[in-house]
Chain A
């Protein structure tokens, strides 16, 4: 009704979008929509299936110069991998700071950075070894594999979740 209100409501909308960029956690449906559209966009634009752990294999093949590692064509998975930290940085613009803290794990490792590094190295090893054995990680098996309707990926995802629930419950309800 008021002609002066039109540009200001548009500016308000822009302001909302702008605020969204600085909010640390999005609603689950918004973040899930973003992740899903990225995977679909990757498929529509490049024809590739989403996957993260394969990028680590690219890195292994480049560092060790060992041709038994099956690197992706033109190392596209490694390029995808390199984008992830940049995305993490952009998502935290406005309140970015570096830290050695890591949530409740600080208490479990008695506040020692050395034990924490050791803990994460060992669990990282389990992640990498298990992901290759299982044929993919949470991106390749859970987000993409399940969406393809692959029986193996659906079972692998269930196994991820079952193992995660068991280990976390043992850690936080029995040990600590």
Chain B
């Protein structure tokens, strides 16, 4: 009892402040929802299949190139319309859409990423969708990606572009 009392009062104090500060968009649920949608469509596009990534890079299948081209076309049009109509979200917040700063140094990282993409047959998003699909081996890929992200931060001095990543 004595332990619980201060916790309760602290929660009561924090609650009204939080409620006024958090707009609906800052709740984690919309992000979770968009993540579910993204994982769903990644899985439906067959980007989560090793063999179709191989077929894409060997230029034997158009499927994934078509997926990328369609997605880029839709997003280009969508962002063009959003920026045209005031660069605002539906609730009036400004869009955070600064393009990635120019630095040729990044191309070395891009080549490394491309090699990893081809070897693992997956990119960061699809590796997680694969786990949901039941491809349990993808846990190894996810661990590897986390280790790579961690290592980049640790060994960054010397190789890193001046600006941090946006993605």
B11 at the interface (CB under 8 A from A): no
Interface residues of B in 7-39 (CB under 8 A from A): 25-26, 28-39
Q: Which residues of B contact A36 (CB under 8 A)?
A: 70-75, 78
A125 touching B151 in the complex, CB below 8 Å, given contacts A100-B137, A136-B165, A171-B118: yes
Q: Nearest chain A CB to B24's CB is how many angstroms away?
A: 9
Q: Does A8 contact B (CB under 8 A)?
A: no
Instruction: Indicate if A110 sits at the interface (CB-CB under 8 A).
Output: no
Indicate with 1 or 0, residue by residue over A7-40, a CB within 8 angstroms of chain B CB atoms.
Answer: 0000000000000000111101111111111111
- Which residues on A sit within 8 Å (CB–CB) of B132? 84-92
Cβ-defined contact, A29 with B66, below 8 A:
yes
Residues of chain A contacted by B148 (CB below 8 angstroms): 124-132
A123 touches B36 (CB 8 A): no
Which A115-166 residues have a C-beta within 8 angstroms of B? 116-153, 155-157, 159-165
- Best-buried of A33, A54, A121, A146 by chain B (most CB within 10 Å): A121
Q: Which residue of A lies closest to B167 (CB)?
A: A140
| Structural contact, B57 and A168, CB atoms closer than 8 A | yes
Give complex CA distance A29, B149 in Å.
32
Q: Do B35 and A129 touch (CB < 8 A)?
A: no
B2 at the A interface (CB under 8 A): no
Could you mark each residue 64-103 of chain A with 1 if its beta carbon is under 8 Å from any beta carbon of chain B, else 0? 1000111001111101111111111111100011111111
Q: What is the CB-to-nearest-CB distance from B107 to chain A, in angstroms, rounded to a whole number? A: 5
Whether A83 and B111, one on each chain, are in contact in the complex, defined by CB atoms closer than 8 angstroms, is no
Asked if B100 contacts A136 (CB within 8 A), the reply is yes
A33 to B65: give the CA distance in the assembly, Å.
13
Q: Which of A31, A101, A137 contacts B124 (CB 8 A)?
A: A137
Q: Please state if B28 and A133 are interface contacts (CB–CB under 8 Å).
A: no
Given contacts A52-B124, A87-B38, A167-B118, is CB(A120)–CB(B82) below 8 Å?
Answer: no
Least distance between B136 CB and chain A CB atoms (Å): 6
- Distance (Å) between the CB of A53 and the closest chain B CB? 5
Most chain B beta-carbon neighbours within 10 Å: one of A25, A35, A138: A35
Residue contact A133 to B78, C-beta cutoff 8 Å:
no
Chain A nearest CB: distance from B52 CB in Å? Answer: 8
For residue B131, which residues in chain A have a CB less than 8 angstroms away from its CB? Answer: 85, 88
Residue pair A60, B112 in contact (C-beta under 8 Å): no
Contact of B145 among A24, A56, A134 (CB under 8 A): A56
10 A-B pairs with least C-beta separation: A124-B144, A83-B35, A140-B167, A87-B39, A128-B148, A133-B109, A32-B70, A36-B74, A163-B114, A136-B167
Can you name 16 extra interface pairs (CB under 8 A) apart from A50-B38, A139-B123? A28-B66, A34-B45, A36-B71, A45-B30, A47-B96, A60-B150, A76-B31, A80-B32, A86-B35, A87-B35, A87-B38, A123-B116, A125-B116, A127-B116, A131-B124, A169-B58
16 inter-chain pairs at a CB distance below 8 angstroms, sorted by A residue, are A28-B65, A35-B38, A36-B70, A38-B38, A46-B25, A54-B167, A79-B35, A83-B31, A89-B134, A97-B134, A120-B137, A123-B116, A124-B144, A128-B152, A138-B68, A169-B57
